[in-house]
Amino acid sequence: MSKSDKTIEKFDSNVIHSYGRYPLVMEHGEGRTAYDEDGKKYIDLGSGIGTNSLGYCDEAWADAVCAQVRRLQHNSNYYYTAVQADFAERLCRSTGYSKVFFGNSGAEANECAIKVARKYSFDKYGKGRHNIITLVNSFHGRTIATLSATGQDVFHNYFFPFLEGFINVTANDIADLKAKLDDTVCAVMLEYIQGEGGVNALEQEFVDAVYELCAQKDVLVIADEIQTGVGRTGKLLAGDWFGKKADITTLAKGIAGGLPMGACLVNEKLSGVLTPGTHGSTFGGNPVACAGALAVFDRVDDEGFLSEVQAKAAFIREKLSACAEVAEVSGIGLMVGISLKTKKAGDVAKEALDRGLLVLTAKDKVRLLPPLTVSESELGEGLDILIGILEE
Protein backbone atom coordinates (compact mmCIF):
# COMPACT_ATOMS: atom_id res chain seq x y z
CA MET A 1 0.00 0.00 0.00
CA SER A 2 1.37 3.42 -0.94
CA LYS A 3 1.41 6.29 1.54
CA SER A 4 -1.45 7.93 -0.40
CA ASP A 5 -3.55 4.74 -0.26
CA LYS A 6 -3.16 4.60 3.52
CA THR A 7 -4.23 8.24 3.86
CA ILE A 8 -7.23 7.69 1.62
CA GLU A 9 -8.32 4.70 3.70
CA LYS A 10 -8.02 6.66 6.96
CA PHE A 11 -9.73 9.67 5.43
CA ASP A 12 -12.66 7.74 3.99
CA SER A 13 -13.30 5.85 7.19
CA ASN A 14 -13.57 9.12 9.15
CA VAL A 15 -14.74 11.91 6.84
CA ILE A 16 -18.33 12.09 5.56
CA HIS A 17 -18.46 11.16 1.88
CA SER A 18 -20.05 14.35 0.61
CA TYR A 19 -17.58 14.84 -2.25
CA GLY A 20 -16.62 12.73 -5.24
CA ARG A 21 -12.87 12.95 -4.69
CA TYR A 22 -10.06 12.05 -7.06
CA PRO A 23 -7.56 9.58 -5.56
CA LEU A 24 -4.92 12.28 -5.01
CA VAL A 25 -3.45 13.13 -1.62
CA MET A 26 -1.82 16.54 -1.81
CA GLU A 27 1.25 16.85 0.34
CA HIS A 28 2.69 20.25 -0.53
CA GLY A 29 2.77 22.87 -3.22
CA GLU A 30 5.29 25.31 -4.64
CA GLY A 31 4.29 28.05 -7.04
CA ARG A 32 2.02 26.46 -9.61
CA THR A 33 3.02 22.88 -8.84
CA ALA A 34 1.45 20.44 -6.39
CA TYR A 35 3.08 17.27 -5.06
CA ASP A 36 1.24 14.22 -3.80
CA GLU A 37 2.25 12.01 -0.89
CA ASP A 38 4.11 9.63 -3.17
CA GLY A 39 6.20 12.44 -4.64
CA LYS A 40 4.33 12.74 -7.94
CA LYS A 41 4.23 16.23 -9.42
CA TYR A 42 1.17 18.00 -10.86
CA ILE A 43 0.85 21.24 -12.81
CA ASP A 44 -2.18 22.90 -11.25
CA LEU A 45 -4.53 24.72 -13.63
CA GLY A 46 -7.41 24.58 -11.14
CA SER A 47 -5.87 26.39 -8.16
CA GLY A 48 -8.28 24.82 -5.67
CA ILE A 49 -11.25 26.13 -7.70
CA GLY A 50 -9.73 29.55 -8.23
CA THR A 51 -8.82 29.97 -4.59
CA ASN A 52 -5.02 29.78 -4.52
CA SER A 53 -4.95 32.97 -6.56
CA LEU A 54 -1.20 33.48 -6.06
CA GLY A 55 -0.40 29.79 -6.45
CA TYR A 56 0.99 27.66 -3.64
CA CYS A 57 2.74 29.24 -0.68
CA ASP A 58 3.71 32.50 -2.36
CA GLU A 59 6.63 33.99 -0.38
CA ALA A 60 5.23 37.47 0.35
CA TRP A 61 1.80 36.03 1.15
CA ALA A 62 3.23 33.34 3.45
CA ASP A 63 5.43 35.90 5.24
CA ALA A 64 2.45 38.18 5.86
CA VAL A 65 0.28 35.29 7.07
CA CYS A 66 2.98 33.85 9.35
CA ALA A 67 3.80 37.23 10.85
CA GLN A 68 0.12 37.83 11.62
CA VAL A 69 -0.46 34.37 13.11
CA ARG A 70 2.43 35.02 15.51
CA ARG A 71 1.05 38.45 16.46
CA LEU A 72 -2.72 37.87 16.85
CA GLN A 73 -4.59 34.91 15.33
CA HIS A 74 -8.16 35.83 16.23
CA ASN A 75 -10.20 38.28 18.19
CA SER A 76 -13.92 38.63 18.58
CA ASN A 77 -15.71 41.21 16.49
CA TYR A 78 -16.48 43.08 19.71
CA TYR A 79 -13.01 44.59 19.29
CA TYR A 80 -11.11 46.22 16.46
CA THR A 81 -7.92 45.16 14.66
CA ALA A 82 -5.66 47.26 12.46
CA VAL A 83 -5.26 44.50 9.90
CA GLN A 84 -9.03 44.26 9.31
CA ALA A 85 -9.16 48.06 9.04
CA ASP A 86 -6.26 48.03 6.57
CA PHE A 87 -7.77 45.35 4.39
CA ALA A 88 -11.28 46.82 4.49
CA GLU A 89 -9.87 50.20 3.42
CA ARG A 90 -7.87 48.59 0.61
CA LEU A 91 -10.82 46.52 -0.58
CA CYS A 92 -13.25 49.44 -0.59
CA ARG A 93 -10.74 51.73 -2.29
CA SER A 94 -9.78 49.20 -4.97
CA THR A 95 -13.35 48.15 -5.77
CA GLY A 96 -15.05 51.52 -5.31
CA TYR A 97 -17.52 50.23 -2.71
CA SER A 98 -18.57 52.07 0.39
CA LYS A 99 -18.46 49.36 3.07
CA VAL A 100 -17.80 45.66 3.58
CA PHE A 101 -18.99 42.85 5.84
CA PHE A 102 -16.57 39.94 6.29
CA GLY A 103 -17.56 36.29 6.57
CA ASN A 104 -15.60 33.14 5.83
CA SER A 105 -16.97 31.72 2.59
CA GLY A 106 -18.85 32.47 -0.57
CA ALA A 107 -22.12 31.15 0.79
CA GLU A 108 -21.80 33.42 3.82
CA ALA A 109 -21.06 36.43 1.63
CA ASN A 110 -24.23 35.67 -0.35
CA GLU A 111 -26.26 35.14 2.85
CA CYS A 112 -25.19 38.62 3.87
CA ALA A 113 -26.16 40.02 0.45
CA ILE A 114 -29.61 38.42 0.70
CA LYS A 115 -30.11 39.84 4.20
CA VAL A 116 -28.98 43.32 3.14
CA ALA A 117 -31.31 43.28 0.13
CA ARG A 118 -34.32 42.13 2.12
CA LYS A 119 -33.70 44.53 5.00
CA TYR A 120 -33.14 47.49 2.69
CA SER A 121 -36.49 46.77 1.09
CA PHE A 122 -38.25 46.08 4.41
CA ASP A 123 -36.93 49.30 5.99
CA LYS A 124 -38.10 51.37 3.03
CA TYR A 125 -41.22 49.60 1.74
CA GLY A 126 -42.33 47.21 4.51
CA LYS A 127 -43.26 43.56 4.12
CA GLY A 128 -44.07 41.75 0.86
CA ARG A 129 -41.19 42.94 -1.27
CA HIS A 130 -38.76 40.19 -0.38
CA ASN A 131 -38.40 38.19 -3.60
CA ILE A 132 -35.01 37.90 -5.24
CA ILE A 133 -34.64 37.02 -8.90
CA THR A 134 -31.81 34.59 -9.62
CA LEU A 135 -30.86 33.02 -12.93
CA VAL A 136 -31.43 29.53 -14.21
CA ASN A 137 -28.16 27.60 -14.01
CA SER A 138 -26.70 29.88 -11.36
CA PHE A 139 -24.76 28.68 -8.35
CA HIS A 140 -24.78 30.65 -5.12
CA GLY A 141 -23.69 28.22 -2.40
CA ARG A 142 -24.60 25.28 -0.18
CA THR A 143 -26.44 26.75 2.79
CA ILE A 144 -30.23 26.42 2.71
CA ALA A 145 -30.72 30.06 1.66
CA THR A 146 -28.05 30.01 -1.03
CA LEU A 147 -29.19 26.60 -2.29
CA SER A 148 -32.68 28.07 -2.52
CA ALA A 149 -31.20 30.97 -4.49
CA THR A 150 -29.34 28.61 -6.82
CA GLY A 151 -31.29 28.24 -10.07
CA GLN A 152 -30.65 24.54 -10.67
CA ASP A 153 -33.26 21.90 -9.83
CA VAL A 154 -30.61 19.28 -9.00
CA PHE A 155 -29.79 21.28 -5.87
CA HIS A 156 -33.43 21.46 -4.74
CA ASN A 157 -33.71 18.02 -3.29
CA TYR A 158 -33.66 16.17 0.07
CA PHE A 159 -33.47 19.20 2.32
CA PHE A 160 -37.07 20.39 2.17
CA PRO A 161 -38.45 22.89 2.84
CA PHE A 162 -36.24 25.33 0.98
CA LEU A 163 -36.40 29.04 1.65
CA GLU A 164 -39.13 30.83 -0.21
CA GLY A 165 -38.61 34.08 -2.05
CA PHE A 166 -36.46 33.20 -5.04
CA ILE A 167 -37.73 33.49 -8.59
CA ASN A 168 -35.71 32.10 -11.48
CA VAL A 169 -35.28 33.90 -14.78
CA THR A 170 -33.60 32.36 -17.82
CA ALA A 171 -30.21 33.96 -18.36
CA ASN A 172 -30.17 36.38 -21.32
CA ASP A 173 -33.97 36.28 -21.65
CA ILE A 174 -35.03 39.91 -21.26
CA ALA A 175 -38.73 39.16 -21.78
CA ASP A 176 -38.66 36.60 -18.95
CA LEU A 177 -36.93 39.15 -16.72
CA LYS A 178 -39.52 41.83 -17.52
CA ALA A 179 -42.38 39.44 -16.84
CA LYS A 180 -41.07 38.43 -13.42
CA LEU A 181 -39.65 41.72 -12.13
CA ASP A 182 -42.81 42.83 -10.32
CA ASP A 183 -43.51 44.76 -7.11
CA THR A 184 -42.63 41.78 -4.91
CA VAL A 185 -38.98 41.86 -6.00
CA CYS A 186 -36.23 43.55 -3.97
CA ALA A 187 -33.14 42.35 -5.87
CA VAL A 188 -31.74 40.59 -8.91
CA MET A 189 -28.74 38.39 -8.19
CA LEU A 190 -26.42 37.26 -10.96
CA GLU A 191 -23.02 35.89 -11.86
CA TYR A 192 -21.56 37.79 -14.83
CA ILE A 193 -20.01 34.49 -15.82
CA GLN A 194 -21.81 31.45 -14.46
CA GLY A 195 -19.01 29.31 -13.09
CA GLU A 196 -20.38 26.03 -11.77
CA GLY A 197 -23.18 26.38 -14.33
CA GLY A 198 -20.70 25.83 -17.17
CA VAL A 199 -18.52 28.95 -17.56
CA ASN A 200 -21.12 30.97 -19.45
CA ALA A 201 -20.77 34.74 -19.67
CA LEU A 202 -23.97 36.77 -19.70
CA GLU A 203 -24.76 38.85 -22.78
CA GLN A 204 -24.10 42.58 -22.46
CA GLU A 205 -27.64 43.36 -23.62
CA PHE A 206 -29.13 41.29 -20.83
CA VAL A 207 -26.87 42.84 -18.20
CA ASP A 208 -27.83 46.30 -19.50
CA ALA A 209 -31.53 45.38 -19.22
CA VAL A 210 -31.09 44.12 -15.63
CA TYR A 211 -29.47 47.37 -14.54
CA GLU A 212 -31.95 49.56 -16.38
CA LEU A 213 -35.06 47.81 -15.07
CA CYS A 214 -33.68 47.59 -11.54
CA ALA A 215 -32.78 51.27 -11.48
CA GLN A 216 -36.35 52.20 -12.47
CA LYS A 217 -37.85 50.25 -9.57
CA ASP A 218 -35.24 50.72 -6.83
CA VAL A 219 -34.50 46.99 -7.10
CA LEU A 220 -30.97 46.12 -6.06
CA VAL A 221 -28.46 44.33 -8.26
CA ILE A 222 -26.35 41.74 -6.45
CA ALA A 223 -23.28 40.53 -8.36
CA ASP A 224 -22.01 37.20 -7.11
CA GLU A 225 -18.32 37.63 -8.02
CA ILE A 226 -17.17 34.87 -5.72
CA GLN A 227 -15.55 33.08 -8.64
CA THR A 228 -15.12 35.95 -11.12
CA GLY A 229 -13.71 38.58 -8.73
CA VAL A 230 -10.24 39.62 -7.54
CA GLY A 231 -8.54 39.62 -10.94
CA ARG A 232 -9.78 36.26 -12.19
CA THR A 233 -11.07 37.72 -15.47
CA GLY A 234 -8.19 40.15 -16.01
CA LYS A 235 -10.06 43.03 -14.37
CA LEU A 236 -10.43 43.43 -10.62
CA LEU A 237 -14.17 42.69 -10.94
CA ALA A 238 -15.88 41.02 -13.88
CA GLY A 239 -18.47 43.81 -13.73
CA ASP A 240 -15.73 46.09 -15.10
CA TRP A 241 -15.95 44.21 -18.44
CA PHE A 242 -19.65 45.01 -18.58
CA GLY A 243 -19.22 48.62 -17.45
CA LYS A 244 -21.38 47.94 -14.40
CA LYS A 245 -21.17 48.30 -10.64
CA ALA A 246 -23.75 46.31 -8.70
CA ASP A 247 -25.29 47.66 -5.50
CA ILE A 248 -23.83 44.63 -3.74
CA THR A 249 -20.85 42.51 -4.82
CA THR A 250 -19.85 39.31 -3.07
CA LEU A 251 -16.31 37.94 -3.12
CA ALA A 252 -14.67 34.82 -1.71
CA LYS A 253 -12.56 32.06 -3.33
CA GLY A 254 -9.35 33.85 -4.41
CA ILE A 255 -9.72 36.88 -2.13
CA ALA A 256 -7.26 35.75 0.55
CA GLY A 257 -5.00 33.50 -1.51
CA GLY A 258 -6.33 30.25 0.00
CA LEU A 259 -7.43 31.30 3.47
CA PRO A 260 -11.15 31.30 4.29
CA MET A 261 -12.75 34.67 3.68
CA GLY A 262 -15.97 35.96 2.17
CA ALA A 263 -16.76 39.62 1.65
CA CYS A 264 -20.06 41.37 1.01
CA LEU A 265 -19.43 44.81 -0.46
CA VAL A 266 -22.18 47.42 -0.49
CA ASN A 267 -22.57 50.84 -2.04
CA GLU A 268 -23.27 54.09 -0.19
CA LYS A 269 -27.05 53.64 -0.32
CA LEU A 270 -26.80 50.33 1.55
CA SER A 271 -24.01 51.15 3.95
CA GLY A 272 -26.33 51.69 6.93
CA VAL A 273 -28.75 48.80 6.36
CA LEU A 274 -27.13 46.34 8.76
CA THR A 275 -27.10 47.75 12.28
CA PRO A 276 -25.61 46.30 15.49
CA GLY A 277 -27.17 42.94 16.26
CA THR A 278 -28.60 42.28 12.78
CA HIS A 279 -25.71 40.22 11.41
CA GLY A 280 -22.46 38.70 12.59
CA SER A 281 -19.84 35.99 12.28
CA THR A 282 -17.41 34.71 14.91
CA PHE A 283 -14.54 34.22 12.48
CA GLY A 284 -15.47 36.96 10.01
CA GLY A 285 -12.62 39.35 9.25
CA ASN A 286 -10.13 37.04 10.94
CA PRO A 287 -6.76 38.84 11.21
CA VAL A 288 -4.78 36.04 9.55
CA ALA A 289 -7.19 35.89 6.61
CA CYS A 290 -7.04 39.70 6.35
CA ALA A 291 -3.22 39.61 6.29
CA GLY A 292 -3.36 37.04 3.45
CA ALA A 293 -5.95 39.10 1.59
CA LEU A 294 -3.82 42.23 1.86
CA ALA A 295 -0.93 40.30 0.29
CA VAL A 296 -3.24 39.22 -2.57
CA PHE A 297 -4.37 42.80 -3.18
CA ASP A 298 -0.77 44.07 -3.00
CA ARG A 299 -0.10 41.84 -6.00
CA VAL A 300 -3.35 42.26 -7.93
CA ASP A 301 -3.29 46.06 -7.56
CA ASP A 302 0.28 46.09 -8.88
CA GLU A 303 0.79 48.05 -12.08
CA GLY A 304 0.57 45.67 -15.02
CA PHE A 305 -0.60 42.59 -13.07
CA LEU A 306 -4.07 42.47 -14.61
CA SER A 307 -2.83 43.11 -18.13
CA GLU A 308 -0.52 40.13 -17.64
CA VAL A 309 -3.54 38.06 -16.62
CA GLN A 310 -5.22 39.18 -19.85
CA ALA A 311 -2.15 38.25 -21.90
CA LYS A 312 -2.07 34.78 -20.34
CA ALA A 313 -5.76 34.39 -21.04
CA ALA A 314 -5.17 35.23 -24.71
CA PHE A 315 -2.30 32.73 -24.82
CA ILE A 316 -4.59 29.95 -23.50
CA ARG A 317 -7.29 30.75 -26.01
CA GLU A 318 -4.83 30.84 -28.88
CA LYS A 319 -3.34 27.47 -27.95
CA LEU A 320 -6.75 25.85 -27.51
CA SER A 321 -8.13 27.22 -30.77
CA ALA A 322 -5.52 25.17 -32.62
CA CYS A 323 -6.80 21.92 -31.07
CA ALA A 324 -9.16 19.95 -33.35
CA GLU A 325 -11.09 18.39 -30.44
CA VAL A 326 -12.01 21.78 -28.97
CA ALA A 327 -15.47 22.92 -30.10
CA GLU A 328 -15.57 26.22 -28.25
CA VAL A 329 -13.79 28.13 -25.50
CA SER A 330 -16.00 30.16 -23.16
CA GLY A 331 -15.44 32.49 -20.22
CA ILE A 332 -13.34 35.61 -19.76
CA GLY A 333 -9.71 35.93 -18.68
CA LEU A 334 -8.35 33.06 -16.61
CA MET A 335 -11.83 31.60 -16.23
CA VAL A 336 -11.89 29.16 -19.11
CA GLY A 337 -14.56 26.68 -20.23
CA ILE A 338 -13.65 24.18 -22.95
CA SER A 339 -16.43 22.43 -24.89
CA LEU A 340 -15.29 19.21 -26.49
CA LYS A 341 -16.42 17.65 -29.74
CA THR A 342 -16.31 13.96 -28.81
CA LYS A 343 -14.61 13.42 -25.46
CA LYS A 344 -16.18 13.55 -21.99
CA ALA A 345 -14.87 16.28 -19.67
CA GLY A 346 -14.79 13.93 -16.67
CA ASP A 347 -12.66 11.37 -18.55
CA VAL A 348 -10.27 14.11 -19.66
CA ALA A 349 -9.87 15.37 -16.07
CA LYS A 350 -9.09 11.81 -14.87
CA GLU A 351 -6.59 11.19 -17.62
CA ALA A 352 -4.97 14.57 -16.92
CA LEU A 353 -4.53 13.59 -13.28
CA ASP A 354 -2.69 10.44 -14.36
CA ARG A 355 -0.40 12.57 -16.51
CA GLY A 356 0.36 15.12 -13.80
CA LEU A 357 -2.08 17.89 -14.68
CA LEU A 358 -4.93 19.23 -12.54
CA VAL A 359 -7.96 20.60 -14.39
CA LEU A 360 -11.58 21.10 -13.34
CA THR A 361 -14.89 20.41 -14.99
CA ALA A 362 -18.12 22.43 -15.09
CA LYS A 363 -21.17 20.65 -16.49
CA ASP A 364 -19.95 19.10 -19.77
CA LYS A 365 -16.90 21.36 -20.11
CA VAL A 366 -13.30 21.10 -19.02
CA ARG A 367 -12.69 24.15 -16.86
CA LEU A 368 -9.42 25.93 -16.16
CA LEU A 369 -8.95 28.40 -13.30
CA PRO A 370 -5.15 28.70 -13.19
CA PRO A 371 -3.44 30.67 -10.45
CA LEU A 372 -3.27 34.32 -11.54
CA THR A 373 0.51 34.13 -11.18
CA VAL A 374 0.94 31.21 -13.61
CA SER A 375 3.74 31.76 -16.12
CA GLU A 376 3.40 31.29 -19.86
CA SER A 377 5.87 28.40 -19.77
CA GLU A 378 3.90 26.64 -17.02
CA LEU A 379 0.70 27.25 -18.96
CA GLY A 380 2.35 25.95 -22.11
CA GLU A 381 3.51 22.80 -20.33
CA GLY A 382 0.05 22.18 -18.85
CA LEU A 383 -1.80 22.89 -22.09
CA ASP A 384 0.50 20.56 -24.02
CA ILE A 385 -0.53 17.73 -21.68
CA LEU A 386 -4.19 18.67 -22.05
CA ILE A 387 -4.07 18.99 -25.82
CA GLY A 388 -2.15 15.70 -25.99
CA ILE A 389 -5.06 14.00 -24.22
CA LEU A 390 -7.68 15.74 -26.36
CA GLU A 391 -6.02 14.83 -29.64
CA GLU A 392 -5.47 11.18 -28.86
Ligand X SMILES: *Cc1c(COP(=O)(O)O)cnc(C)c1O
Nearest approach in angstroms of CB 289 to ligand X is 13
DSSP helix/strand/coil, 183: coil
Residue among 261 and 340 whose Cβ is closer to ligand X: 261
DSSP state of 245: -
What is d(CA 125, CA 338) in angstroms, rounded to the nearest whole number?
45
Active site residue 301: no
* 361 binding ligand X? (CB under 6 A): no
Give 224 or 351: the residue with its C-beta nearer to ligand X: 224
Query: How many Å from the N-terminal Cα to the C-terminal Cα in the chain?
Result: 31
Q: Which of residues 78-137 bind ligand X (CB under 6 A)?
A: 105-107, 110
Residues of span 19-48 touching ligand X by CB under 6 A:
none
CA angle 30, 236, 323 (to 5 degrees): 65
How is residue 154 annotated by DSSP? G
Handedness of CA 286, 90, 191, 228 (dihedral sign): negative
**What is the distance between the alpha carbons of residues 194 and 202, in angstroms, rounded to a whole number?**
8
Contact code string over 202-231 relative to ligand X, x by CB under 6 A = ----------------------x-xx----
Q: Is 284 in the site for ligand X (CB under 6 A)?
A: no
Min separation Cβ 226 and ligand X, Å? 4
166 catalytic per annotation = no
Per-residue binding letters, 172-191, with ligand X (x by CB under 6 A)? -------------------x
Given a contact cutoff of 8 angstroms between Cβ atoms, the answer to whether 253 and 50 are in contact is yes
Q: How far apart are CA 72 and CA 87, in angstroms?
A: 15
Compute the distance between CA of residue 294 and CA of residue 230 in angstroms, rounded to an integer. 12
Question: Minimum distance from CB of 318 to ligand X (Å)?
Answer: 26
Residues 136-175 that bind ligand X (CB under 6 A): 139-141
The reply to whether 195 sits near ligand X by the rule CB under 6 A is: yes
Minimum CB–partner distance for residue 135 and ligand X (Å): 11
Q: Are 125 and 133 in contact (CB under 8 A)?
A: no
For this structure, is 63 an active site residue? no
253 vs 319 by CB, closer to ligand X: 253
Measured distance CA(141)–CA(144) in Å, rounded:
8
Q: Which of 102, 224, 235, 242 is catalytic?
A: 224
- Binding residues for ligand X, total number by CB under 6 A: 15
Residue 307's identity, in one-letter code, is S
Tell me the closest approach of the beta carbon of residue 228 to ligand X, in angstroms: 7
| Contact call for residues 249 and 225 (beta carbons, < 8 A) | yes
Residues that bind ligand X (CB under 6 A): 105-107, 110, 139-141, 191, 195-196, 224, 226-227, 252-253
For the annotated catalytic residues, the residue numbers are: 139, 224, 253
